[in-house]
Structure 1
Amino acid sequence: MRAIQITEFGGPEVLNVAEVPEPVAGPGQLLIEVSRAGVNYADTHQAEDSYLSSPELPLVPGGEAVGRTSDGRRVVALLGSGGYAEKAVAAEAMAWDVPDGIDDVTALGMILQGATAWVLLRRSTHLEPGESVVVHAAAGGVGSLAVQLAKAWGAGRVIATASTKEKRDLALELGADAAVDTAEPDLKSALIEANRGRRVDVVLEMTGGTVTDQSLRALAPFGRLAFYGMASRQAPSPVQPAGLMAHSTTIAGMWLAQVFQLPGDVMGTALRELFGLAADGRLRVVAGGEYGLTEARRAHEDLRARRTTGKLVLDPSR
């Protein structure tokens, strides 16, 4: 079968189309004929071996796929790897049936990015009605859904940040109350001004560097920042515990893989709510672009250059 195979770590140039053996499902696994594979920023880290876990080579990347099982079920699944291919194997416990009326892009948008936004707001920051929320990279896959969820769950004011006017306009269309240019030299003051002169309660942050530093300085007492990525590849300044105590600040890290160690079916709960909101028209996945398997390099280039909005997918049939 055709797949993207990585034989050395690096940038988009290491993504090559190859003929590889079809995967075989073992006990407790499902073989999925992939109709679409999701493309995520984490995939770019996986390709260059800069993510939280180090993969082995050769590697077929891709952490999510939607398609049909051999018995005709339509499922969306989280994968350790293997999504950028015509067929993929998933653990049964990591695959969920897709309700009627939910298209491929929506299904893929919910399973990782939607669930990430859900966990960030529900579990990492414990958003309360009336609180202000800053969503960085608000036109991206996680950000565009986090803006909508925060509004649906009663946030008092949602402040989006993005790098271009087009992306900021999209965030406003999705329900943000204000939009700020991430490149503002005094981002802290810009966030406070966007919150009508008040410090902010919650920040969802995946950029790193000075964006994280200035976001922390914009937090109100008992404010919470949830850190779930470092797209700039720049580490924030070190944080001193005494500084956290002085302002009653909470910093949370979030990696979705850890959700499966929690008691109860957290992921199933999240997806049921997300699919329900989508079916009711209260939550939409922004389609960010579809690429053929042969265009995987371009997908990663566009993602890393921040030329994209919303959910990116690969079509393994072309």
Structure 2
Amino acid sequence: MRAIQITEFGGPDVLRLADVPAPEAKAGELLIDVSRAGVNYADTHNAENTYLAPASLPLIPGNEVVGRAADGRRMVAQVTTGGYAEQAVAPEFTAFEVPDELDDTTALAIVVQGLTAWLLLRTSAHLEQGESVVVHAAAGGVGTLAVQLAKSFGAGRVIATASSQAKRDLALELGADVAIDPASEDLTAAIIEANEGRRVDVVLEMTGGPVTDASLVALAPLGRLVFYGMASRVPPKPVAMPNLLSHSTTVSGLWLPHAYARPGLVPRAMQELFSLAREGKLRAIAGGDYPLSEARRAHEDIRSRRTTGKLVLDPKT
């Protein structure tokens, strides 16, 4: 079958189209004929072997697929590896039947990025009615969905950050109350000003470096910052525990695979996300439908911040 295979770690240039043996499903697994494979920013780390879970070679990257199972059901699933291919194998507990009303891009947006946004707000930040929320990278895959979910969950004020005016306009269209440039000379002051002079209650952060540092300082007492990625590849400053105590702030992290260890959590989240999407209250932004053979270009585009929303690969082209 056709797949993208990595035989050496590195940047987008290591993604190459190859003919490889088709996978076989074992007990407790589903074999899926892939109609679309999702692309996530984490895939760029995986290609470099700089992700949280170490990778081994040869590697078929990709952690999410949508398509048909052998029994004809249309399924969307998270896979450990192997998503960038014509067929993939998924654990049954990470696979969910897709409602007929939802297209492939929406299903893929929900299974990783939507689920991440839901967990950030519901289980990590414990968002309360009326609280202010900062969503960094608000035009990205998680960000576009987090803006909408924060509003649906009762946030009082949603502050988006994005690197271009077009991206900030998209965040406003999706429901953000204000959108600012994360490259502002004083990002802490810009966040507080965007919240009408008040410090903020919740920050969803996946950039790292100075953005994390500035966001932490902008937290109100009892505020929470949830760290779920480091797109800049620059680590933030170490957090001093006494500072958390003196300001009554919380810093937490989220890595999606851990959610599956809590019985019932992911199915509950997926059910709510599917319902919101069916009702038109959650909209996936289609960020690009690339031929499988152009996976390298997809990685180049997402790394250069040229994209918005959800990127997908078509394994038939």
Query: TM-score, normalized by length of structure 1?
Result: 0.99
Give the structure 2 partner of residue 316 of structure 1. 315
Give the structure 2 partner of residue 281 of structure 1. 280
Query: Secondary structure at the residue paired with 2:82?
Result: coil
Superposition pairs of residues 226-241 of structure 1, within 5 angstroms: 226-241=226-241
Superposition pairs of residues 102-181 of structure 1, within 5 angstroms: 102-181=102-181
**Take 1:35 and 1:163, find their aligned partners in 2: how far apart are those partners?**
32
Q: Which amino acid aligns with 2:282?
A: L
**Take 1:265 and 1:36, find their aligned partners in 2: how far apart are those partners?**
27
The Cα of 1:217 is off from its aligned counterpart by 0.4
The Cα of 1:260 is off from its aligned counterpart by 1.1
Is structure 2 residue 8 aligned with structure 1 residue 8? yes
Is structure 2 residue 68 aligned with structure 1 residue 68? yes
Q: Which amino acid aligns with 1:303?
A: I
The Cα of 1:172 is off from its aligned counterpart by 0.1
Q: Please give the root-mean-square deviation of Cα atoms over the aligned residues, in Å.
A: 0.5
The Cα of 1:91 is off from its aligned counterpart by 1.0
**Take 1:52 and 1:135, find their aligned partners in 2: how far apart are those partners?**
22
Query: Secondary structure at the residue paired with 1:201?
Result: strand
Q: Which amino acid aligns with 2:30?
A: L
**Take 1:25 and 1:131, find their aligned partners in 2: how far apart are those partners?**
45
- The total of aligned residue pairs comes to 317
Q: Specify every segment of 5 or more residues in structure 2 that has no aligned partner in the other structure, as ranges.
A: none
**Take 1:92 and 1:249, find their aligned partners in 2: how far apart are those partners?**
38
Query: Secondary structure at the residue paired with 1:185?
Result: coil
Percent identity between matched residues is: 67
**Take 2:282 and 2:238, find their aligned partners in 1: how far apart are those partners?**
36
Give the structure 1 partner of residue 203 of structure 2. 203
The Cα of 1:26 is off from its aligned counterpart by 1.0
Q: Which amino acid aligns with 2:60?
A: V
Q: Which amino acid aligns with 2:225?
A: L
Is structure 2 residue 23 aligned with structure 1 residue 23? yes
Superposed CA deviations along residues 121-179 of structure 1, whole A, max 9, x for unmatched, are 00000000100000000000000000000001110000000000000000000000000
Give the structure 2 partner of residue 297 of structure 1. 296
**Take 1:71 and 1:120, find their aligned partners in 2: how far apart are those partners?**
34
Q: Which amino acid aligns with 1:96?
A: F
**Take 2:132 and 2:183, find their aligned partners in 1: how far apart are those partners?**
21
Query: Secondary structure at the residue paired with 1:289?
Result: strand
Query: Secondary structure at the residue paired with 1:204?
Result: strand
**Take 1:55 and 1:92, find their aligned partners in 2: how far apart are those partners?**
22
Q: Which amino acid aligns with 1:290?
A: D
Q: Which amino acid aligns with 2:127?
A: L
**Take 1:88 and 1:293, find their aligned partners in 2: how far apart are those partners?**
14
**Take 1:58 and 1:138, find their aligned partners in 2: how far apart are those partners?**
34
The Cα of 1:92 is off from its aligned counterpart by 1.0
Q: Specify every segment of 5 or more residues in structure 1 that has no aligned partner in the other structure, as ranges.
A: none
Query: Secondary structure at the residue paired with 1:212?
Result: helix
The Cα of 1:257 is off from its aligned counterpart by 0.5
The Cα of 1:68 is off from its aligned counterpart by 0.2
Q: Which amino acid aligns with 2:211?
A: V
The Cα of 1:185 is off from its aligned counterpart by 1.2
Q: Which amino acid aligns with 2:291?
A: G
**Take 1:265 and 1:45, find their aligned partners in 2: how far apart are those partners?**
29
The Cα of 1:53 is off from its aligned counterpart by 0.9
The Cα of 1:100 is off from its aligned counterpart by 1.3
Q: Which amino acid aligns with 2:189?
A: S
Q: Which amino acid aligns with 2:299?
A: H
Query: TM-score, normalized by length of structure 2?
Result: 0.99
The Cα of 1:294 is off from its aligned counterpart by 0.7
Q: Which amino acid aligns with 1:280?
A: E
Q: Which amino acid aligns with 1:187?
A: L
Give the structure 2 partner of residue 266 of structure 1. 265
Q: Which amino acid aligns with 1:195?
A: N
Superposed CA deviations along residues 178-226 of structure 1, whole A, max 9, x for unmatched, are 0000110100000000000000000000000000000000000000000
**Take 1:265 and 1:78, find their aligned partners in 2: how far apart are those partners?**
16
Query: Secondary structure at the residue paired with 1:117?
Result: helix
Q: Which amino acid aligns with 2:283?
A: R
